[in-house]
A and B are shown apart, each in its own frame.
Chain A
Amino acid sequence: MSSWIDYTVNGIIIGNIYALLAVGLALIFGVSRLINFAHGSVYVVGAYAGFLAVTHLGTPLPVTIALVVVVGALLGLVIERFGLRPLQGYAHIAPLLATIGISFVLDQLVQLFFTPDPRALPSSLLETRFQIGSGTIGALDLVIAAIGLASAGLLYTFLRYTRLGWAVRATAQDRDAAQQMGVDVDAVNRTVFAIASGLGAVSGLLVGMYYNYIDPAMSFQATLKGVVAQVVGGVGNVPGAIAGSLLLGLVESYGIALFGTSYRNLFAFVLLVAVLVWRPNGLFASKRQTPPEPMTGTFIAPSRPIQIPGKVLLAAAAVAALVPLVLPHPYVLQTLTNSWLYALLGLSLTLIAGTVGLVSLGHAALLAIGGYSSALLALNFGVPVGIAILSAGLIAALLGTVLVFPSFRLRGHYLSIATLAIGEIVSLVILNWEWLTRGPIGVSGIPSLSLFGIELDTDRSVYWFTLVLVIVLAALQLRLLGSHLGRVLRAVRDDDVAARSYGIRLDRYKALAFAFGSFAAGVSGGVTSHIYSYINHETFNAQLSILALTIVILGGMGNVTGAIVGSVLLVGLPEVFRVAAEYRVLIYGLVLLLLVRFRPQGLLGTV
């Protein structure tokens, strides 16, 4: 049995590792107002660079660290070059989306080179442990603590006593004013990305040595942990990020001691949402000030949507309906069915992110809620599948809206982060709520699709069923957009200050749109569960959320037809060309990155 001292030591060490990540995120946010979602990828690359150095070159620890810093810094420069610099003057969410794209690409490249399998990252340090009181502290713990302290000291010296450090601080406080003092803010950005990424890479190396374990999937969790720590400490606040990291490390370590490992991340994300909603300046902000918020503005590139005549739409629907008769190939039908399911998700997100401007990064959670609801209703209570799916839509609408409601007051980046965290929370609750969800085992034996007692057991019938769902929901959504309500929703998006001054109750309208959108996502999740017959907490993962967003941006934010087209292109096409699964995520990442940069209005234009 470990003692409390052990848990404390462990918490502080993990806190140090988080601090190396969070400080970088805070620096980057400080000078560029960007939450860098590629930061976790730098951490993974750092871990793997260390792995290569240790296992292939046999480098001693100091050399390994130096190498990892250099690799990280170079990667940081690349991220700045492609994720931030070309997007100046774009909506502020654009660089955030670009860094998500970059992180997909980087993570996938790491996976392609090193396989997704975990590796051991042996630390060359002796397994010596020193007794302190009733606990122990290891040599590696001391090294990590020393690196944490040394980095903090170096950073402090840099910011306080060097010219460039002054430039960084001045830029963080007022970018325009700094420029007017002659500061080259682009150079400042580059410096900060290099430093932040150097530190982030070392963090990855240390974590790998600490657990003697690395795998490419660490990336996303690392980004999230860094974001949590820096939000808790106050966005853009460097000392706050360190304090937030240590706090997070301790909370997690004690949490594990009290409740077990699988709850660990739950604490982190609940903490994140709570701080975002109730203390948006972070826990340590002394005075009531509004949080830095230049990142308002939605990702709606002004454009005239391409008008598709009703006749063409009808014809397209008719062609789609005829596919099973003309091309009764199971593979084609399954692929297109899959596209229709994603189209439902796209419809949902294009309404929420496009029409109302709430860029949700946790949309897969709605699928998960829908999927589990429908599966469990049918399985545990014998509810007919058709009714179970309908209920799943309603449950997703209700639960989704209730969960996100407190975050409606947040704007821009902050809302996106909150939805991301809520998505993770939902997935972790599913993992831990075993008596209901069967936890990690997942739900199997889900009854297959049927309607009014008729089994939809052919590929053809499933195809038609999902197609009809898409057409009905798309038609409803088009009517909604054309109505007075639709105009109000767009007004909320375009200028919520103005909309508020007309007396529009923003939260209610956001909730209404969110509920409508969640219904479609819940239905999609429900149908999916009956088609798969097995789901678990990872079926609807965060990657899916980002895929959904890419679909929606590809089609054109807010564009109903675009969501369907985007889904066929992104989900259907790679399938038709039988692109190997490893390359798909790479493609999604690249598409997202290129769209944000070159065609933010999407293929069919924003509405």
Chain B
Amino acid sequence: MTELLSLENINTFYGPVQVHFDLSLTVGRGHIVCLLGGNASGKSTTMKIILGLVKPQSGIVRFDGQPATGLPTPQIVRRGVGSVPEARRLFGDMSVRENLLMGAFVRKDQKAIAEDLDRVLGLFPKLAERLAQRAGTLSGGEQQMVAMARALMGRPKLICMDEPTMGLSPLWVDRVLDLIAAINKEGVTVFMVEQNASLALEIAHHAYVLQTGRIVLQGPASQLRADPRIRDAYLGGQEAA
């Protein structure tokens, strides 16, 4: 297996507060890798480091064989990193169609973009009926679909997703997880941040558990699924949700 993304010994600070302590992880090409952890453990910050929205104080980010530490976000996106941000962050006043096309912002190949729009709508047929609707008026689950479709429109090598199932009903959670697996089958590597370990581990290949900025557990998903420490390590009572 070759690796697509790696973080090596990342230390991150917000002002005086340290959020990551020598964080290292790797994401293999074609895999779904999951970063699990409780609230405020530094998951979203990890995503922001990968996307260049937050700069680590020390450590190295490598993407696709090249160092990517400290690059501005647009460049990282151009290199093939797509993102489904926490709480989806759609452009609420723009139509669904415009949101999807914004996903292809860094691309210039108009014809291929049009084809990709059809392809993505094939994957998310629900959205085809809603193309003209203002994105802000969609339901939470529909918004999640738009966010995922939008990320796909950039033809990324890697998609980073921050808690894609947050706030969704069980039915929609299943749908979203199925779609992530489907996206992955098309060859897109997925790095996913989740609180809901048992669900995420169903589709993941590999997982890391983050606890207050440190990786405390990692391994193949099949192994972690059975690991009692997953519960003890951080889930506590949250498993019920």
Q: Which residues of A contact B (CB under 8 A)?
A: 163, 166-167, 169-170, 173-174, 176-184
Contacts and interface: CB of A to CB of B under 8 A. Distances in A.
Contact of A179 (B74, B93, B150): B74
Contacts of B98: 166
B89 A174 contact: yes
B105 A182 contact: yes
Given A163-B105, A183-B74, A176 B94 contact: no
Contact of A180 (B73, B92, B93, B101): B73
Given A166-B98, A176-B53, A176-B85, A181 B92 contact: no
A181 B53 contact: no
B183 interface: no
Interface of B: 51, 53, 72-74, 77-78, 83, 85, 89-94, 98, 101-103, 105-106, 150, 154
24 contacts: A163-B105, A166-B98, A167-B105, A169-B93, A170-B105, A173-B91, A173-B92, A173-B93, A174-B90, A174-B91, A176-B85, A179-B53, A179-B73, A180-B73, A180-B77, A181-B77, A181-B103, A181-B106, A181-B154, A182-B73, A182-B74, A182-B105, A183-B74, A183-B105
A166 B102 contact: yes
B68 to A, nearest CB: 14
Identify the 10 closest CB pairs spanning chains A and B, nearest first.
Answer: A182-B77, A182-B106, A177-B89, A180-B83, A179-B73, A173-B91, A181-B105, A182-B74, A184-B74, A182-B105
Nearest to B135: A173
Nearest to B15: A302
A181 B102 CA distance: 7
A178 B72 CA distance: 13
Contacts of B83: 180
Contact of B91 (A163, A169, A179, A182): A169
Nearest to B160: A180
A56 B25 CA distance: 67
A188 B221 CA distance: 42
A184 B106 CA distance: 10
Contacts of A169: 91, 93-94
A174 B98 CA distance: 14
Contacts of B154: 181-182
B76 to A, nearest CB: 8
A173 B105 CA distance: 15
Contacts of A178: 91, 102
Given A166-B98, A176-B53, 5 more contacts: A163-B105, A176-B85, A181-B103, A182-B154, A184-B74
Contacts of B85: 176-177, 180
A184 B53 CA distance: 12
Contacts of A184: 72, 74
Q: Interface residues of A: mostly helix, strand, loop or mixed?
A: helix
Contact of B78 (A173, A174, A177, A182): A182
A170 B74 contact: no
A341 B90 CA distance: 53
A173 B150 CA distance: 16
Nearest to A167: B105
Contact of A166 (B72, B74, B105): B105
A163 B101 CA distance: 10
Contacts of A166: 98, 101-102, 105
Contacts of B78: 182
Contacts of B51: 179-180
Nearest to B93: A173
Nearest to A180: B83
Given A182-B154, A183-B105, A177 B74 contact: no
A170 B92 CA distance: 9
Nearest to B104: A181
Nearest to B79: A182
A526 to B, nearest CB: 45
Contacts of B77: 179-182
B16 to A, nearest CB: 10
Contacts of A180: 51, 53, 73, 77, 83, 85, 89
Contacts of B102: 166, 170, 178, 181
A176 B73 CA distance: 10
A185 to B, nearest CB: 8
Nearest to B73: A179
A176 B72 CA distance: 12
Contacts of B92: 173-174
Contacts of A177: 85, 89-91
A167 B90 CA distance: 14
A235 to B, nearest CB: 14
B44 to A, nearest CB: 11
A169 B105 CA distance: 13
Nearest to B77: A182
A182 B103 CA distance: 8
Contacts of A163: 105
Among B93, B101, B150: residue with most chain A CB under 10 A: B93
A166 B92 CA distance: 13
A526 B154 CA distance: 66
Among A163, A166, A177, A183: residue with most chain B CB under 10 A: A177
B169 to A, nearest CB: 24
A220 B106 CA distance: 40
A180 B158 CA distance: 13
A181 B150 CA distance: 9
